[in-house]
Every structure is written in structure tokens, then in C-alpha cells.
Amino acid sequence: MQSTSNLPSGKAPISGILKNLAKFALFLGLGVLLIWLALKDISEENRHLVIDSFKAANYWLVIPAFIIGFFSHFVRATRWKLIMHSLGYNPSTWNTFFAVMIGYLTNLAVPRLGEVARCGVLARYEKLPADKLVGTMIAERAVDLLCLGLLFVITILSQLGLVSDFLQDEILGPLKDKVMAMSALKLSLVFIGLLIFILIILFLLRKFSHSKTAIKLKELIRGVWDGILSITTMERKGMFVFQSLLIWFLYFAMMYVGFYTMGETSHLGVKAAMSLLAFGSIGMIVTPGGIGAYPLLIEKTLSIYKVAQVPAFAFGWIIWGAQTILILILGLLSFALLPIYNRKRVNSNSL
């Protein structure tokens, strides 16, 4: 049985309750702030368009999209748990799910901090080494990157002229221009600076290899590396591949169902959903929670399929809003339920 000495006690003190309420209020406020920042610079005409489009949307189809989204997050949690099994850990499925959703919620405010947050949450409540959890998370993200790359390949090959031209004109071209705008001197300085930083770290590790700090740092790096390698030692590799593909299929299904929320997009099919999922995923990487970037890329991608700018603009914000609201709801519920669930676990284990 895992140690539970550091878990919240059966009767949480008032200060602990207030602390959880403060966390709840903080992330709720951050969610409201993110939505306000996303809409504050939009013209009055487009703002009314977004509001009108939300009012006109078929919310009977938003509900199944929410359900699909929930299952995609739940499968992500079970897949992460599958990786941890290869390290000999068996965390609670619900704790793993709560940690995943808190990570998504944190990512709305600070990109990539959510990955650290979810590892920290699970490490605290399941008494697992955080360094190895970080390693499993890195392995998981690497697989997601491969899945996204595979999606791009399928999307481009199935729509060669259509999507490849868009990719060149809207993404690769502008990116190339920005890179070319950087002088060779700046690029050289960045490379040299990075190289010097790595050499300094290696020198310090060798120089002070027997110090407590160096030993702890080596243990941290070793733990992270063990977590990364865990994906190669898992027994149920077939299930891992299946769950990885299922996650992305559910993302695709959520986008496809979303088409029917608006009349202007209801005629779009499988290929369009693949394109929107692929390019929209880039927007999720660029900014916190995809704010601004995701709706813009959705709007641009819809132009490939001759959807007018006005409904394309509205659809991008509807899809982004639905995904963000789902994360806010599930993330805030996870914050609230996490201590309650673990207090009950402690009480049941003590009987």
C-alpha cells in the first residue's frame, strides 16, 4: 500500500479549504481574462458576429462535441497511466485524469507549464517521483508530435494541390521570410550562446561531480531519462498505439461534429476536418490555449474550402470557445474534486 502520510487529512483545516477556493477562483479569473483578451481587440462588427453566431449555433451538437472532448481527455489519462505501468507505478485513474485536466487549465495561462503542473499534482497525491513523471510526459508528447506529423502527411497527400499551396502561402512562406530576416550574425550568436551554456553545465557537473547539488541534478536527469525510455519497455505497446490513435480520432470527431453547428460549414467533410485539426493544432502550440492563433488558423484553413471570411471567422471562435469552456469546466472541477477524492481514499484505506 502506498504511503498516505502527506495526503490531506480526513478533516481538512479551514486554511486548506480556503487555499483550494483561492486556486479555484484564480483559474476561473484567468479563464475569464483569457477570453476577454481574445475579444477586446476585435472590431465591433466582428464581435457582434461572434455573439450572433454563438446564439445561432446548434447547441444540441455542441453537447455531443463536449462528450467527445471529455473522452479524449480521459483516454489521454489512461494512456499516460499505461506508460507509468512500465515503471512499476499504478496511480489512480481519477487522480491521473484530474492531473491531466489541471495541466490543460494551467496551459491556458502559461504555455508548457501545464505539463509540469500535471506531473507535480500526480507526484504529490500518488507519492511518485516527479522526475520520472516528467520523462513519461516527454515521451507522451513525442508520440503526439508523431501523430500530428502523420496527420499532416495524410492531409497533404489526400489534397495535394489544395493543402500544399495553403501550407506554402500561409505558413512556410511567412516563416521562411522571418528566418531570412534574421541576420547570420544573430543566428550565429544564438547558436554560440547555446553551445557555451551546454559546455558550462557539463563543466560544472564534472568539476563538482561529488557535490550534493550535482548528485541531485544527475539523479534528476537520470529519472527524466528513465521516464522517457519507459515507452520502449511497456508490455502493452499495442494498447498504447490504439489509445494514441483513438485520442486523435476523437479530436477529429469533435471537429467533424462541430461543422454541423453552423449552416455555412455543415457541408464540409472528412478531408476538411483533417485539415482544420492539423493546422488548428499548430495554433494550440503557438499561444496559451491557442488564444488568437487557433481561431485565425481555422479561419484561414476554411478559406481553402471557399467558406466566406465572416462565417469562417465566427466558426474559429466557436470551436475555440467550446474547447476552452470544456477545459475550464473540467479543470476547475478537477481542482475542486482532487482533495475530496483523495480524502475519501485515505479514509477508506484507514478502515
249 confidence band (pLDDT: 50, 70, 90): very high
- What is the pLDDT, as a whole number, of residue 1? 42
pTM for the full model?
Answer: 0.75
Better-scored residue on pLDDT, 74 or 159: 74
- What is the pLDDT, as a whole number, of residue 2? 44
Angstrom distance (rounded) from CA 316 to CA 329: 20
6 confidence band (pLDDT: 50, 70, 90): very low
CB 312 within 8 A of CB 303: yes
**19-28, 29-38, 274-283: range with highest mean pLDDT:** 274-283
Angstrom distance (rounded) from CA 252 to CA 258: 10
C-beta neighbour count of 242 within 10 angstroms? 13
Asked if pLDDT for residue 178 goes beyond 60, the answer is no
- What is the pLDDT, as a whole number, of residue 18? 62
Asked if pLDDT for residue 99 goes beyond 50, the answer is yes
Q: What amino acid occupies position 290?
A: G
Q: What amino acid occupies position 103?
A: G
Range in 14-18, 121-125, 275-279 the model is least confident about: 14-18
184 confidence band (pLDDT: 50, 70, 90): low
Give mean pLDDT, residues 203-227.
61
Tell me, rounded to whole angstroms, the distance of Cα 310 from its chain centroid.
28
pLDDT more than 90, % of the chain = 22
C-beta neighbour count of 198 within 10 angstroms? 10
Burial of residue 124 (CB within 10 Å: 0-12, 13-18, 19+) is middle
Give mean pLDDT, residues 46-74.
83
**18-27, 96-105, 299-308: range with highest mean pLDDT:** 96-105
**16-25, 104-113, 233-242: range with highest mean pLDDT:** 233-242
> Taking all residues of the chain, what is their mean pLDDT, rounded to a whole number?
78
Tell me, rounded to whole angstroms, the distance of Cα 243 from its chain centroid.
16
- 503542473: which residue's cell? 117
Asked if pLDDT for residue 218 goes beyond 70, the answer is no
Asked if pLDDT for residue 98 goes beyond 50, the answer is yes
- What is the pLDDT, as a whole number, of residue 256? 94
**99-103, 206-210, 314-318: range with highest mean pLDDT:** 99-103
Give mean pLDDT, residues 152-163.
84
- What is the pLDDT, as a whole number, of residue 174? 59
Better-scored residue on pLDDT, 297 or 210: 297
- 467533410: which residue's cell? 269
- SS3 labels along the chain: CCCCCCCCCCCCCHHHHHHHHHHHHHHHHHHHHHHHHHHCCCCHHHHHHHHHHHHHCCHHHHHHHHHHHHHHHHHHHHHHHHHHHCCCCCCCHHHHHHHHHHHHHHHHHCCCHHHHHHHHHHHHHHCCCHHHHHHHHHHHHHHHHHHHHHHHHHHHHHCHHHHHHHHHHHHHHHHHHHHHHCCHHHHHHHHHHHHHHHHHHHHHHHHCCCCHHHHHHHHHHHHHHHHHHHHHHCCCHHHHHHHHHHHHHHHHHHHHHHHHHCCCCCCCCHHHHHHHHHHHHHHHHHCHHHCCHHHHHHHHHHHHHCCCHHHHHHHHHHHHHHHHHHHHHHHHHHHHHHHHHHHHHHHHHHC
Asked if pLDDT for residue 290 goes beyond 80, the answer is no
Angstrom distance (rounded) from CA 197 to CA 209: 18
